[in-house]
């Protein structure tokens, strides 16, 4: 990715042929299969209700120092849940990653209900865009202020309508208007060079310091997990930590 690309040029890119900038999957390192590698619970298990105990605990793919992970970065943290929760989940995601969207749509609602809303876990989302479209999506979410998570949710749910289409800028504008943006505030957000630089700094720190190379990547109390896990798999990791 050309890190010297100006915001104006990036807007032009979004309006022209955004698919050229998109990658086949959620990785910039040729390891595209990683995000789909996590295995679901054994489907051959008899028809017992899905419970955390029924899922095999996913294998951690490394560890990080939680104190270092939680140090302030270029942008204020976007967090759900209590600061003193026993479990901290940090997710690095890309707005154009289909595996991230799948996690957002299928696992996250239950994760929020079961662990975040009950005070058992806190969740932090960090930007890890792989392309100009993902950068733009995250910038719009940041410009939505208190509606950051709502904007992220909408962009993930509507991913097919703006990722890889002929005019990503126009598609994002229409979604943003529904979220309360005007043409002027939309343009102002996507021409904010400092915000773009800060989003890129969050990604660079994730890659350099915590070895993030695919999305989604999760850090759960210091252990690294890659791929869009099911709620059963996440429960198998989280429950022993409570």
The structure's pTM equals 0.82
Contact between residue 129 and residue 203 where contact means Cβ atoms under 8 Å apart: yes
With respect to residue 107, please indicate whether it lies within any of the assigned structural domains. Answer: yes
pLDDT tens string for the chain (242 positions)? 444 455 555 666 565 433 333 333 376 543 333 333 322 233 333 333 444 445 788 899 999 999 999 999 999 999 999 999 999 999 999 999 999 999 999 999 999 999 999 999 999 999 999 999 999 999 999 999 899 999 999 999 999 999 989 899 999 999 999 999 999 999 999 999 999 999 999 999 999 999 999 999 999 999 999 999 999 999 999 999 99
If phi > 0 it is left, if psi is from -120 to 50 it is alpha, else beta; for residue 232 that is: alpha
**Dist. CA 176–CA 172, nearest whole Å:** 6
With respect to residue 42, please indicate whether it lies within any of the assigned structural domains. Answer: no
Sheet holding 78-80, edge to edge: 78-80, 121-127, 87-93, 217-220, 223-226
For 90, residues 6+ apart whose C-beta sits below 8 A from its C-beta are 69, 70, 124, 126, 218, 219
Domain at 221, CATH number: 3.40.30.10
| Tally of structural domains, the chain | 1
By residue range, what is the domain housing residue 222? Answer: 62-241
With respect to residue 16, please indicate whether it lies within any of the assigned structural domains. Answer: no
What is the pLDDT at residue 242? Answer: 96
**Dist. CA 114–CA 99, nearest whole Å:** 21
With respect to residue 13, please indicate whether it lies within any of the assigned structural domains. Answer: no
With respect to residue 108, please indicate whether it lies within any of the assigned structural domains. Answer: yes
- b or e along 104-127 (b: 16 or more beta carbons within 10 Å of the residue's beta carbon)? beebbeebbebbbeeebbbbbbbb
What is the pLDDT at residue 40? Answer: 29
Which tens digit of pLDDT belongs to each residue from 225-234? 999 999 999 9
With respect to residue 223, please indicate whether it lies within any of the assigned structural domains. Answer: yes
Which tens digit of pLDDT belongs to each residue from 67-90? 999 999 999 999 999 999 999 999
For 19, residues 6+ apart whose C-beta sits below 8 A from its C-beta are 164, 165
With respect to residue 55, please indicate whether it lies within any of the assigned structural domains. Answer: no
3-state helix, strand, coil in the chain (%, to 5): 50, 10, 40
Contact between residue 181 and residue 189 where contact means Cβ atoms under 8 Å apart: yes
What is the pLDDT at residue 15? Answer: 53
What is the pLDDT at residue 38? Answer: 28
Nearest CA among 229, 233, 198, 234 for reference residue 100: 229
For 174, residues 6+ apart whose C-beta sits below 8 A from its C-beta are none
Report the chain's terminal Cα–Cα distance, integer Å: 40
Phi, psi of 233 (to 5 degrees): -70, -40
With respect to residue 117, please indicate whether it lies within any of the assigned structural domains. Answer: yes
């Amino acid at each position: 990715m050309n890190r010297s690309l100006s915001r104006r040029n990036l807007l032009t890119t979004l309006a022209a042929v955004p698919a050229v900038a998109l990658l086949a999957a959620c990785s910039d390192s040729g390891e595209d299969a990683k995000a789909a590698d996590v295995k679901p619970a054994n489907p051959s298990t008899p028809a017992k209700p899905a419970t955390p105990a029924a899922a095999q605990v996913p294998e951690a793919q490394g560890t990080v120092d939680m104190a270092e992970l939680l140090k302030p970065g270029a942008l204020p943290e976007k967090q759900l849940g209590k600061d003193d929760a026993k479990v901290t989940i940090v997710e690095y995601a890309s707005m154009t990653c289909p595996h991230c969207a799948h996690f957002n749509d299928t696992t996250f609602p239950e994760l929020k209900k079961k662990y975040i809303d009950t005070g058992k876990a806190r969740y932090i989302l960090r930007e890890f865009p792989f392309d100009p479209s993902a950068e733009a999506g995250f910038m719009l979410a940041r410009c939505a202020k208190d509606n950051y998570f709502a904007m992220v949710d909408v962009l993930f749910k509507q991913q097919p309508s703006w990722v890889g289409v002929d005019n990503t800028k126009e598609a994002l504008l229409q979604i943003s208007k529904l979220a309360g943006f005007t043409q002027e505030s939309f343009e102002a957000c996507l021409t904010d060079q400092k915000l773009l630089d800060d989003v890129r700094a969050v990604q660079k720190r994730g890659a350099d310091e915590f070895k993030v190379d695919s999305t989604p990547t999760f850090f759960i109390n210091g252990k690294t997990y890659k791929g869009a896990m099911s709620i059963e798999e996440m429960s198998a990791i989280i429950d022993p930590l409570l």
